[in-house]
Structure 1
Amino acid sequence: MTTDFSKLESLMEQMRTLGLAELHFEEGDTIIHLTNDVHSPHAQKPEVVTPASESGNAQHMITATMHGQFYTAPSPDEPPFVQPSDTVKAGETLYILEVMKTLSRIDADFPCRILSILQADGQSVEPGTPLFMIETLDA
Structure 2
Amino acid sequence: MDIKDLKVLIKMVTETDITEFEMDNSDEKVVIRRGPKTEYVAVAAPAPQAYAAPQQQAPSAVAAPAAAPAAEAPAETGETVNSPIVGTFYRAPAPDAAPYAEVGQVVEKGQVLCIVEAMKLMNEIEAEYRCKIVKICKENAQPVEFGDALFIVEKL
Fold in common (TM above 0.5): yes
Distance in 2 between the 1:67 and 1:94 partners? 17
Specify which structure has the higher proportion of strand: 1
Distance 1:80 1:48 in 2: 25
TM-score w.r.t. length of structure 1 = 0.63
Is it true that 1:90 corresponds to 2:109 in the alignment?
Answer: yes
Any idea what the Cα deviations from partners look like across 1:91-120, whole Å, max 9, x if unmatched?
100111111100011111100000010100
Cα 1:123–1:130 shift into 2, 3 Å: same
Q: Does 1:40 align with 2:24?
A: no
Q: Is the 8 A contact 1:84 1:117 kept in 2?
A: yes
Task: Report deviation, 1:18.
Answer: 4.1
Match of 1:63 in 2: 82
Deviation of 1:136 (Å): 0.3
TM-fit CA distance, 1:39? 2.5
Q: Which amino acid in structure 2 is aligned with residue 80 of structure 1?
A: P
Number of aligned pairs? 105
How much has 1:20 moved relative to structure 2? 7.0
Structure-1 residue corresponding to 2:19: 19
Residue 119 (structure 2) pairs with residue 119 (structure 1): no
Structure 2 residue ranges without an equivalent (≥5): 1-11, 22-29, 44-76
Give the 3-state SS of the residue equivalent to 2:31 in structure 1: coil
* Cα gap change, 1:77 to 1:126, in 2 (>3 Å): same
Relative to the length of structure 2, the TM-score reads 0.57
Question: In 2, Cα distance between the equivalents of 1:111 and 1:127?
Answer: 23
Rounded to whole Å, the distance in 1 between the matches of 2:123 and 2:86 is 12
Matched residue type, 2:78: Q
* Partner Cα separation in structure 2 for residue 88 and residue 20 of structure 1: 21
SS at match of 2:129: coil
* Per-residue Cα deviation, 1:72-131 (whole angstroms, up to 9, x for no partner): 001000010000000000010011111110001111110000001010011110112111
Please tell me whether Structure 1 or Structure 2 has the larger radius of gyration of its CA atoms.
2
Gaps (5+ residues) in structure 1?
Answer: 1-10, 22-37, 53-57
Q: Identity over the aligned pairs, expressed in percent?
A: 28
Residue of structure 2 in register with 1:106 after alignment: 125
Q: Is the 8 A contact 1:47 1:63 kept in 2?
A: no
- C-alpha root-mean-square deviation of aligned residues, in Å? 2.9
Query: Structure 1 residues 51 and 68, CA, compared in 2 at 3 Å: closer, same or farther?
Result: closer
Q: CA deviation at 1:50?
A: 5.6
